[in-house]
Structure 1
Amino acid sequence: MDRHDIQAVSERIDVLLDEVQRRAEPEITLKVEELVRAVLSLHGAALGQLLSLLSQEQVQQLVDDDVVAGLLLLHDLHPDDVATRIQHALDSVRPYLGSHAGGIDYLGLDDDGVVHLRLQGSCDGCPGSTATVRLTVENAVLDAAPEAVAVDVAGMVETQQTLLTIQPFRTHRDGWHQLDLVTPPGQVQHLTIGGLDVLVANLAGTLFAYRNNCPVCSSALHHGVLDSDRLTCPRCTAAYDVRLAGRALAPEGAPPLEALPLLPEGSGWKVAIPGVQPA
């Protein structure tokens, strides 16, 4: 069973429990909930005993696997505290956020379960970057800290909402699609994900994802020229900085590319397509 199968099983359990709560008689529902708690308690005790037999180095090797780490979090057995987990999560996503997220400071978790972050720099001039930062940071924080119920990012340019409200007990995978990438360094790759044309560029080993559409002339960009960090549209010759959140280099004042959050997951990758649920 791979990690995608594990995720599917987890989601299926949620669906079944929800169905029991909606359809079963109250006394049956209570028995099912008691059964689930008993099984979790048994598994948690066994995991705790197992961890006590391992060295600190062996435990860390286990924690490096995100599936095992999630299980340890479920049973409150993860060796790292919430601040350490969130800091590590933010460190892991910084390379994929673009220039606007060169610095994200963790300010703390308050008594209401809200994680407070401060974004250094500005997203001015790259409207697409706000969605990129929101989705990527939200996903990273929720995976690392299930204790959190919301994320407040100070310094984020917003037109409507500034608080990332996160419902507890959800899968946190809305809009994220798994994919395998074979983009060589210095080249671009064209994919269709969730009905959306996506362009992935490999800049010296760091991957960036954008909607495959020139904001100036609406042409596809995967036939354009990628020269270092500069991507030039094959039709209108508009140019964009792929590394710096897709900002327009020419013509002056042109809108930026629409950035899509792209993160490593296990041996593959996942990309967020806003408003499109994975199949």
Structure 2
Amino acid sequence: MAGQDTGERVAALLDELARTGDPRARAAADELVRTLVEFYGEGLARVVRLLGNAPPGADPVTVLVADELVADLLILHDLHPEDTLTRVGRALDKVRPYLGSHAGDVEVLGLDDGSAEGQVLRLRLRGSCDGCPSSAQTVRWTIEEAVARTAPEIARIDVEGATEAPAAGPALLQILPGPPDDAPGGHRPPGSASPASPGLAPPGPAHWHTVGPEGLPGPGHALGSARVDGALLLFVRLPGGLYAYLDRCADCGSRLDDADLSGDLLRCADCGTEYDVRHAGSGAQGHLEPLPLLAEDDGSVRIALPERQAAAS
């Protein structure tokens, strides 16, 4: 169907909806069309820009799949050169160093296509996260986000070895498809939603935020703090790793941006409580609140805050 014919068909359908449907339905349909036009328009603009700036001799497909939004469009239309499990493997390799800080690892058990919902990814978590609910929570969110950003076609993740979920919800990690947050207007395709884990997460979904390299501590042993969406965060840089916690001592409630960092141990300046930075902030009498962290290729990081934490000051 030619582009002009498609445009005329869309206009005719909207006019028919305006005559026969509820005004709110017509407004929703108008918003749907605008969202799709913006989404695909941004994707086309990136394709042109990426190919125009590609070095001589570069493989055009490799150039395109390196962009997350364009890669999502290729996945949506079954044009991506990598299959789902290959992309899932890349996503899990990216988060394994983070899982290691929570005494855990993840194994792919398989990918099932028989569900009416769509593809179901089966994983097994190894490690107990030291029995800490907040640590287990951050592991789940980190896996969710990594998989959702590289394999958005997966409808659900089933996990073996996860901490038992509250009775109010299923023991599942829910993954819903969607483009990256930097799509125009932050819109996801109609019918999709942000990744969430009903029954596994504390009240409120996780909101992912990007912190640029300028907001992070430098190399070596270093501390840094930042306010992200109203929450005070503590970043701790150790050789080979960057860690993020809520900037609050679990024992006395003081901020930790002026704490003493000796090796892997962080010592509160007010009460002297020590926390093991590399192992999910565990301490003798308490546990720091770890935050899911995903490193990006440009030196920035993505941090997840649940609603109850994002609203804290």
Instruction: Tell me if structure 2 keeps the 8 A contact 1:102–1:120.
Output: yes
Q: 1:142 aligns with which of 139, 144, 148?
A: 148
Q: Distance in 1 between matches of 2:86 and 2:266?
A: 37
Following superposition, the deviation at residue 127 of structure 1 comes to 2.4
Q: Distance in 2 between matches of 1:157 and 1:247?
A: 18
Q: Distance in 1 between matches of 2:22 and 2:277?
A: 48
Instruction: Tell me if structure 2 keeps the 8 A contact 1:72–1:78.
Output: yes
* TM superposition score normalised by structure 2: 0.67
Q: Distance in 2 between matches of 1:277 and 1:213?
A: 12
Aligned to 2:85: 83
Instruction: Tell me if structure 1 keeps the 8 A contact 2:103–2:279.
Output: no
Following superposition, the deviation at residue 243 of structure 1 comes to 0.8
Instruction: Tell me if structure 1 keeps the 8 A contact 2:155–2:175.
Output: yes
Instruction: Tell me if structure 2 keeps the 8 A contact 1:126–1:255.
Output: no
Aligned to 1:272: 304
The range that moved more, 152-161 or 77-86, is 152-161
Output the amino acid matched with 1:170: A
Q: 1:259 aligns with which of 281, 290, 298?
A: 290
Instruction: Tell me if structure 1 keeps the 8 A contact 2:251–2:273.
Output: yes
Show CA shifts across 1:27-49 (max 9, x none).
x959x87xx69x97xx99xx8xx
Q: 1:156 aligns with which of 143, 162, 168?
A: 162
Instruction: Tell me if structure 1 keeps the 8 A contact 2:152–2:176.
Output: no
In structure 2, list runs of 5 or more residues that go unmatched. Answer: 1-17, 178-191, 196-204
Q: 1:165 aligns with which of 143, 166, 174?
A: 174
SS in 2 for 1:235: coil
Instruction: Tell me if structure 2 keeps the 8 A contact 1:226–1:232.
Output: yes
Q: Distance in 1 between matches of 2:258 and 2:251?
A: 16
Aligned to 1:122: 128
Counterparts of 1:230-269 in structure 2 under 5 Å? 230-248=265-283, 251=284, 254-267=285-298, 268-269=300-301
Instruction: Tell me if structure 2 keeps the 8 A contact 1:106–1:118.
Output: yes
Following superposition, the deviation at residue 170 of structure 1 comes to 2.1
Q: Distance in 1 between matches of 2:78 and 2:24?
A: 30
Following superposition, the deviation at residue 23 of structure 1 comes to 3.8
Distance 1:61 1:229, change over 3 A: farther
Following superposition, the deviation at residue 152 of structure 1 comes to 1.7
SS in 1 for 2:236: strand
Show CA shifts across 1:81-137 (max 9, x none).
111110110101122234335421111222222211111121233322111111111
SS in 2 for 1:158: coil
Distance 1:108 1:232, change over 3 A: same
Q: Distance in 1 between matches of 2:164 and 2:193?
A: 25
Distance 1:238 1:58, change over 3 A: same
* TM superposition score normalised by structure 1: 0.75
Alignment RMSD (CA, Å): 3.4
- Relative contact order higher in (CA < 8 Å, ≥ 6 apart): 1
Aligned to 1:13: none
Distance 1:167 1:78, change over 3 A: closer
Q: Distance in 2 between matches of 1:163 and 1:245?
A: 23
Following superposition, the deviation at residue 247 of structure 1 comes to 1.3
Show CA shifts across 1:210-260 (max 9, x none).
011111111111111111211111111111111111111xx3xx2211100
Counterparts of 1:96-135 in structure 2 under 5 Å? 96-100=98-102, 102-110=104-112, 111-112=114-115, 113-135=119-141
Following superposition, the deviation at residue 59 of structure 1 comes to 2.4
Aligned to 2:229: 194
Identity %: 41
